[in-house]
Amino acid sequence: MRDPKTARDRLIVGLDLPSRQAAEQMVETLGPAVTFYKVGMQLSFSGGLGYAADLARAGKSVFLDMKLLDIPNTVASAVEAIAGMGVTCTTIHAYPQTMRAAVDARGDSGLKLLGVTVLTSLDAADLAETGYAGSVSDLVVKRAVQAAEIGMDGLICAPGDIAAIRAAVGHQLILVTPGIRPAGSAAGDQKRAATPEAAIRNGADCLVVARPVIKAADPRAAAEAIIGEIEQALA
Ligand code: C5P
């Protein structure tokens, strides 16, 4: 995953669906168009953890979006268990102590670890309320530098954070970017969305897209259109 090769392998479709059955149907609909899936909290808590392992066994790349945060011993145990599932990557909140525990625990399993720097739902006022001084972008860059030093593989980052993170850590980290809206599609609750082409041109490695694919009248055509946009940006 450090160096995703094809445009197709850079699209991660979020299976934000209420049941394993709904997820299975979507994966069947998408067929060979999609090689990489994200399984997050909703699906995990409705039968999706076993499905994530099955998808990996079936040859798909799987991003298990667990956003782990706990004491180091517990995070380490969770990372060891996730590494045994055969998935490609998982997420850890980018606190230095948590990242160190995760990096130690994944050993040579091949599991890729992605840090969540600052949730994109948080603004400066939310940070202040939480007890942090300073701006969101300062904290994002600080945690990006720490993630690179600790040996994380990458970060989840908003389209607007890509430039600052690349400036701080270069290409040491793979950047996986949600908040993607193909030109003309509904933004939904994504406030700072970017098109697939813009995000890749700005330096994202992989894009996470859920609703514009899974809610489309023709999900496969929607996925192919996004892959086409990624191809254009890479050309
Ligand atoms: O439907 P949509 O394309 O907005 O879904 C984006 C996916 O990426 C969702 O699974 C969402 O939880 C996730 N995500 C996000 N913004 C973040 C982190 C994760 O939208 N900052």
Domains of the chain, first to last: 8-234 (3.20.20.70)
Arithmetic mean of pLDDT, 152-170? 95
Q: Which two tokens stand for residue 148?
A: 């690179």
- What is the distance in A from the centroid of ligand 1 to the CA of 66? 13
pLDDT tens digits, residue range 81-108?
999 999 999 999 999 999 999 999 999 9
pLDDT tens digits, residue range 61-85?
999 999 999 999 999 999 999 999 9
pLDDT tens digits, residue range 114-156?
999 999 888 899 999 999 999 999 999 999 999 999 999 999 9
pLDDT of 187 reads 73
Q: Which two tokens stand for residue 57?
A: 């066994």
If you compute the radius of gyration of the chain from its CA atoms, what whole number of angstroms results?
17
Closest ligand 1 atom to the C-alpha of 188? 4
CA-CA distance, 81 to 118, in Å (whole number)? 25
Give ligand 1 pocket residues (Cβ under 6 A).
Answer: 14, 16, 40, 119-120, 156, 158, 178-179, 188, 190, 208-212
What is the DSSP track for 25-93?
Answer: HHHHHHGGG--EEEE-HHHIIIIIHHHHHHHHHTT-EEEEEEEE-S-HHHHHHHHHHHHTTT-SEEEEE
Closest ligand 1 atom to the C-alpha of 121? 21
Q: Which two tokens stand for residue 36?
A: 């990489």
Q: Is 142 a catalytic residue?
A: no
**181, burial (CB in 10 Å: exposed 0-12, middle 13-18, buried 19+):** buried
pTM score, whole prediction: 0.95
Q: Whose C-alpha lies nearest to ligand 1, atom 16?
A: 178
pLDDT tens digits, residue range 169-224?
999 999 999 999 997 777 777 777 899 999 999 999 999 999 999 999 999 999 99
From 5, 38, 60, 67, the catalytic residue? 67
Q: Whose C-alpha lies nearest to ligand 1, atom 13?
A: 178
Report the candidate in 60, 59, 56, 106 with the shortest Cα–Cα distance to residue 83.
Answer: 106
113: DSSP letter:
E
Three-class SS of residue 12? strand
Q: Whose C-alpha lies nearest to ligand 1, atom 15?
A: 178
Three-class SS of residue 175? strand
